[in-house]
């Protein structure tokens, strides 16, 4: 079972920012698993008419890209919609879902940001630190400045914030919009991009994200 580090549940923006600033120094940037056999996709779907949500986790066998374990948790958002603080809405149900897995994944692939965040502590950092599992963020939309990468699959450019590289815009399919990869915890950026390319042989988004999204939609 995945063990989770506990922290106080903030009720205000200032309290949430303080939690991010306290946990941020715990992020590790070194290395990655010697072998990635399983990767977990994490996604949260919202009911547009209420604060209800569905958190879905799908664990894939990496060579086969087939689902070997999955969990779904239904709940309600416990924190308001505030840019830069999405983790306080999404982390609690995602952590609950992770704790229900029978397979401990080698890496978490989050539908969101890691270091590409105003306080360098996006959802992938948050979940990585609280579980101490390797984690990366693969966002659909950018956070930071970047130049468009070349058109071939595998082309990339740096994403920068305040003059610092915080991630990469990565072209997973030729002539298709890039995804935005950033380190979450216990992973190097080069290796994170290699993993994302391996998880996205046919489509723009990695199969981990696609599987978690489909799982959440079926459960919603």
Chain centroid to CA 74: 19
Instruction: Say if residue 111 carries a ligand binding annotation.
Output: yes
Within a 10 A sphere around the Cβ of 57, how many other Cβ atoms?
29
Instruction: Say if residue 190 carries a ligand binding annotation.
Output: no
- Strand 164-170 to strand 156-161: parallel, antiparallel, or no bridges (unpaired)? antiparallel
Residues 6+ apart with CB under 8 A from 197: 153, 154, 170, 172
The two tokens of residue 152 are 């071939």
CB-count exposure of residue 206 (10 Å: 0-12, 13-18, 19+): buried
Identify the CA nearest to 41 among candidates 64, 62, 24: 62
Known binding-site residues equal 43, 111
Known binding-site residues for Mg(2+) equal 43, 111
């Amino acid at each position: 079972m995945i063990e989770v580090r506990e922290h106080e549940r903030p009720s205000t923006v200032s309290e949430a920012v303080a939690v991010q600033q306290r946990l941020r120094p715990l992020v590790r940037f070194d290395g990655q698993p010697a072998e990635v056999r399983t990767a977990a996709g994490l996604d949260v779907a919202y009911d547009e008419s209420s604060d209800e949500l569905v958190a879905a986790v799908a664990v894939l066998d990496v060579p086969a890209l087939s689902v070997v374990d999955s969990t779904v948790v239904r709940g309600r958002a416990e924190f308001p919609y505030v840019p830069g603080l999405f983790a306080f809405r999404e982390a609690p149900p995602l952590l609950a879902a992770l704790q229900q897995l029978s397979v401990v994944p080698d890496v978490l692939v989050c539908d969101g940001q890691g270091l590409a965040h105003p306080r360098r502590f996006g959802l992938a950092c948050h979940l990585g630190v609280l579980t101490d599992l390797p984690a990366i963020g693969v966002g659909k939309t950018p956070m930071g400045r970047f130049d468009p990468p070349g058109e071939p699959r595998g082309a990339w450019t740096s994403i920068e914030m305040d003059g610092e590289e915080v991630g990469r815009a990565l072209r997973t399919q030729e002539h298709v919009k890039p995804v935005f990869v950033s380190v979450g915890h216990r992973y190097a950026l080069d290796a994170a991009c290699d993993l994302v390319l391996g998880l996205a042989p046919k489509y723009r988004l990695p199969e981990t994200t696609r599987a978690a999204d489909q799982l959440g939609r079926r459960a919603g």
